[in-house]
Structure 1
Amino acid sequence: MRSQGPTSACPSMLPRNWELTAQPSKAPSSSFSCQALGSLCSPWAAPRVGPLPPAPAMVRISKPKTFQAYLDDCHRRYSCAHCRAHLANHDDLISKSFQGSQGRAYLFNSVVNVGCGPAEERVLLTGLHAVADIHCENCKTTLGWKYEQAFESSQKYKEGKYIIELNHMIKDNGWD
């Protein structure tokens, strides 16, 4: 192949931000105009294939607030007070007579949309326990903790259960 001269450019040699547009040609073969150079490309050169580079973002798009799990609408539930992510069904409530680090707390059998931190041993009001702090997966607020292990036999019923402090949750859906 011969070079087309210093003013021609092959599409594969163009910088990524230059586009090629098809131009009607008097010759039976198609030719392409390089918008940046204003010259004709070689008739043997193929137009660049693939996506164009992204346009510069003028508006920052934030991730939509979607929860990992949604609880049934026909049941009373508890939600995160900060972002309204569903946390637990009222049916999973075991006890309302617990004390958290910042006030009253509820003990739940199971929760959703909650992440756990690493377990650590803490001396609580009822003795030594291995607990892991829990946080809302949506807004990352620390909500309470999960009982991983109870060292006293009278406290074994708490293992695998969750404490959520009242100041971090609200009653949602179906409460009169």
Structure 2
Amino acid sequence: MRRGLLAEFETPEALLQAIAELRSRGYRRLDAFTPYPIHGLEQALGFRRSPLTWLVLPFALAGTAGGYLVQWYCNAFDYPLNVGGRPAHAAPAFIPITFEMMVLSAALSGFVILLVLSRLPELSHPVFDVPGFERASIDRFWIGIDARDPALISPITERDLTDLGALTVAWAGKERS
């Protein structure tokens, strides 16, 4: 949400109730800003499961294959050593490094993909300019309605948010349209 309408609520219960009411009225581009996690907020906002696990899986498998292939190449193909009559390609001996390469590649790729999907780092955001928004990290609960939401009609939505118990209603990213 780069631009839109923000509403401040005093309790998490009021926030959840307002989100449920707004979604029943047809608002779909909603976001919430809270000082701590609230049980049921993701379901109330209609968030889907993150695609991060499926995006990281190919990198984890590539790290696994790469770790195994490097060990095979070094020990069985490029420089095989006959130590005590053991085979040069001993797959059980390759398991620990292979597993660690999978974990390393999944962690690094997951971190980078998370930053890309979240569009981070973002040093400044229009919601930070809204008066009182700094309390979202202390003791207040905020709902954001994206300006691209087709159900957002400025005076009607502002009145609806006030009727739902919003302490303040303000625009982020631009002046009223």
Report the TM-score when normalising by structure 1: 0.21
Structure number with greater Rg is: 1
Report the TM-score when normalising by structure 2: 0.21
Looking at both structures, which has the greater relative contact order when contacts are Cα pairs under 8 Å and sequence separation is at least 6?
Answer: 2
Higher helix share: 2
